[in-house]
Structure 1
Amino acid sequence: MNALPKIVIVGAGRIAWHLSKRLKSKGLPVAQVISRTAENVEALAESLHTAWSDLPADLLPDADWVILAVRDDAIEEVAEAFAPYVKNALVTHTSGGTAGAVLAVHFERYGVFYPLQSFSLEHMPVWSKIPFCVDAQSDEDVLFLKKIAKTIGNLVYRVNDEQRALLHVAAVFANNFANRCFAIAEKILDENDLPFELLHPLMEETLAKALQDSPARMQTGPAMRGDVDTVRRHLNLLAENLEWREIYRELSENINPDLKV
């Protein structure tokens, strides 16, 4: 990349923090950060030693790339707020669940720069292992986004709106729903004076096997082998928590549709 792009990040949440830091560490400093939450954006800007504002009107007029690193349900509102002030910049959001096309009504150049990872301020992401899903309305901008992604990461894919929406659904199953099951398991053990670490090796083995082969082929457990007696016994043990009991029953019957409990 010959000339450094003038990058502006809109937002001061988890993705904004991690992405801006990573860009800077790879020689792509953020020229400005903007967020309506003045306290948060000032802290982020201070850590980056860069300019900040809480007003869309203060957007740098010569910005090359504006990254909307905001919540999914705020993207359209934020895009509309910045539309009058964007001149020739490429505008992208970082969402997996929102179409890039929502930006089309506001900007001539638009796209998506989606790092497929769950971010938290407490944990540093391993960027070399994070897939970047990029897309834009022009091949030139796609190439630009791919170059950026390759600079700060390693795994880069061009993914269109429809593909990315389904990818996001799959990610919710693999991440959010799986983590909810971990949380339930932890609670069951905690209520019975057992440490959660008892399950750590099993959880690690489950993930390792799922990554080695098709998870469907790796499925084990009482539901998979049709052990109705064990499933019913487990349901009885969950009788005091109807929510968990129903989750257990539905997952068991999903694993084995012939299982009638």
Structure 2
Amino acid sequence: MAFSGDRDTELGRIAGARFAVTAEDRMTAENLVQDMGGIPFKVDESDRILYHAAMTHASNHLVTLIVQSSAMLASISVKDTAEVLRPALAAALENALMRGTAGATGPVVRGDIGTVTEHIRALSERMPEILPVYRVMSQAGADIALTAGRISEDVKQRVGQAVGVPSNDSEPQHASGGS
């Protein structure tokens, strides 16, 4: 669970949320989670830091991507960027959670290297501070799409060339969706 300081909103999110339990007194910890309206599940203590890294990557880094996307839209005078982004974000999140790699969309998955190249050019000229994240995320998306059979090795290599990031030759771990 991510808490940003809006107590009333965040307390309302606890009901039905899942909480990892690593405590030695597992029964007490699970009862506490259930008393708050949460749903406990066990994570081995040896896996706690990877669990936390996964949750940080999913939630905190999502905020980074949204803030950067909002900044791009605001830079071209788009008003109410949250409402402009909301439908696309909701669809992408639902697709990712329900379909895993099959839910990926966009120019990388389509093998549209021309569009990726144009994105790199525009970011280089207008928002260079966002470029490093865009490059790494595009290449990570290509690595995952290749592993899922969505793109060819050639397309993955061309994405790497377009974004200027060497491809990751190790097989990435990815969500299969629907769990």
TM-score (norm 2): 0.72
One-letter amino acid matched to 1:230: T
Aligned to 1:124: 10
User: AA paired with 2:106?
Assistant: G
**In the alignment, does 2:76 pair up with 1:189?**
no
> Counterpart amino acid of 1:150?
Q
Query: Are 2:130 and 1:217 aligned?
Result: no
Question: Sequence identity, in percent?
Answer: 26
For residue 239 of structure 1, report the CA deviation from its aligned partner: 1.5
CA positional deviation for 1:248: 1.4
Partner of 1:50: none
Q: Secondary structure at the match of 2:107?
A: coil
Deviation at 1:142, TM superposition (A): 1.5
Greater strand fraction, Structure 1 or Structure 2: 1
Match of 1:174 among 37, 58, 64: 58
Tell me whether 1:199 sits opposite 2:85 in the alignment: yes
Secondary structure class of the residue paired with 2:40 = strand
Q: What secondary structure does 2:87 align onto?
A: helix
- The answer to whether structure 1 residue 244 and structure 2 residue 114 are counterparts is no
Q: Look up the match of 2:23.
A: 136
Matches within 5 A, 1:1-261: 117-122=1-6, 123-125=9-11, 126-137=13-24, 141-195=25-79, 196=81, 197-214=83-100, 216-240=101-125, 241-256=127-142, 257-258=156-157, 259=159, 260-261=161-162
Provide structure 2 residue ranges, at least 5 long, that are not aligned to the other structure.
Answer: 143-155, 163-179
Q: Computing the radius of gyration over CA atoms, which structure comes out larger, 1 or 2?
A: 1
Higher helix proportion (structure 1 or 2):
2
Q: Which amino acid aligns with 1:183?
A: V
Q: Give the Cα–Cα distance (whole angstroms) in 2 for the partners of residues 242 and 189 of structure 1.
A: 14
CA contact (8 A) 2:21 2:41 kept: yes
CA apart distance, 1:208: 1.5
Task: Compute the RMSD of aligned alpha carbons.
Answer: 1.6
What is the TM-score of this pair, normalised by structure 1? 0.51
Structure 1, residues 125-182: CA drift from partner, whole Å, max 9, x if none? Answer: 3222321222333xxx211111121111231112122222111111111111111010
Counting matched residue pairs gives 141
Give 2:147's aligned residue. none
Bigger RCO (CA 8 Å, 6+ sep)? 2
